[in-house]
């Protein structure tokens, strides 16, 4: 598995570091922005261009072909166990699936080889890949034609928040490897929707790159730069990403900072433990396009509990 580079859309000086076996990131110098400002609009347009890119125009850093092996390498060890425990009555949603390579690996013999003969109960779960753009390849269509109907599905053209619970249904397992969580400009809404698509006791496995770890000991990877994703209180004091995730009602969260990676990544396992999900609100105060973008949020008041709210379209 080869390192993959990630490139920022910036005219400023760029800095790079190689992340072992996974994408590295170019991180730009930050500056203050507010929603609705010309600068914010320009950065949002640049980000949209990344999503729309095709062929040779796809930025080298906008990775669309991550394998299942890369998922098992970077995510919590519980991910592999959760996936192995899925049966034909279960469902897996992969957000930011790109070409859907991880799903293809799972649905074909590659996954059986990875398990190395580990015992499994029956068939495999049905898997759904989600992407803003349609990145399916001939390999995807060929595999889908050989599998049972709806064994693998691919949805595209909309962001997670635009899907209704009645449309997608619920899942026992959701993954996001440098997808929506790393790119969204509505972080609280993203988590609310994601948890809405999980069944109770289902798990969400994801990560963020170059953020303040739970113990607060690490500094931004690039000297003179901020973390890629930051949250602050109204008074400007810092709120760690892990702390914010753990404040979500009905979510049991485990955070693991892989500080020896370059740049570091923090890996999250979020298990939904009840239906009355309440996500503390966040307002986007800074956004700078990239792969992934640089974002800053300000903590607001928690939204009121509503069992039905998490799975519906606003």
For residue 201, pLDDT beyond 70: yes
Domain ranges of the chain: 38-54+62-311
Place of tokens 């979510």: 251
Q: How far apart are CA 155 and CA 132, in angstroms?
A: 8
pLDDT at 81: 93
Among 17-26, 110-119, 227-236, 277-286, which stretch is predicted with the lowest mean pLDDT? 17-26
Residues 7-35 pLDDT 10s? 333 322 222 222 333 433 333 333 334 44
DSSP annotation of 36 reads T
pLDDT at 111: 77
Q: How far apart are CA 285 and CA 217, in angstroms?
A: 25
Residues 179-189 pLDDT 10s? 999 999 999 99
* Cβ pair 138, 104 in contact under 8 A: no
The residue ranking higher by pLDDT, 8 or 169, is 169
- Which residues are CB-neighbours of 237 under 8 A, at least 6 positions away? none
Question: CATH assignment of 38-54+62-311, given 3.40.50.300, 3.60.15.10, 3.40.50.150, 3.40.630.10?
Answer: 3.40.50.150
* Cβ pair 171, 198 in contact under 8 A: yes
* Cβ pair 51, 132 in contact under 8 A: yes
């Amino acid at each position: 598995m080869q390192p993959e580079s990630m490139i920022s859309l910036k005219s400023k000086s760029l800095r790079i570091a190689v992340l072992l076996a996974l994408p590295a990131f170019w991180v730009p110098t930050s500056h203050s922005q507010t929603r609705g400002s010309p600068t914010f609009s320009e950065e949002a347009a640049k980000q949209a261009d990344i999503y729309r890119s095709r062929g040779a125009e796809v930025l080298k850093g906008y990775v669309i072909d991550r394998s299942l092996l890369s998922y098992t390498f970077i995510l919590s060890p519980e991910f592999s166990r959760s996936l192995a425990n899925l049966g034909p009555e279960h469902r897996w949603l992969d957000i930011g699936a790109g070409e859907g390579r991880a799903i293809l690996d799972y649905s074909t013999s590659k996954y059986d080889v990875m398990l190395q003969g580990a015992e499994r109960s029956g068939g495999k779960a049905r898997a759904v890949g989600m992407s803003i753009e349609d990145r399916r390849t001939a390999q995807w269509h060929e595999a889908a034609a050989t599998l049972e109907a709806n064994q693998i599905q691919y949805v595209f053209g909309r962001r997670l928040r635009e899907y209704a619970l009645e449309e997608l249904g619920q899942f026992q397992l959701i993954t996001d490897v440098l997808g929506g969580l790393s790119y969204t400009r509505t972080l609280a809404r993203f988590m609310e929707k994601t948890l809405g698509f999980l069944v109770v006791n289902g798990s969400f496995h994801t990560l963020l790159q170059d953020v303040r770890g739970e113990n607060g000991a690490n500094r931004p990877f690039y000297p003179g730069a901020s973390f890629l994703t930051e949250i602050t209180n109204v008074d400007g004091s810092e709120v760690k990403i892990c702390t914010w995730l753990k404040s979500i009602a009905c979510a049991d969260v485990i955070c693991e900072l892989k500080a020896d990676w370059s740049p570091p990544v923090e890996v999250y396992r979020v298990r939904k433990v009840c239906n009355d999900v309440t996500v503390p609100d966040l307002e986007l105060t800074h956004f700078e396009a990239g792969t992934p973008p640089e974002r800053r949020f300000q903590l607001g008041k928690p939204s009121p509990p509503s069992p039905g709210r998490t799975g519906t379209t606003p």
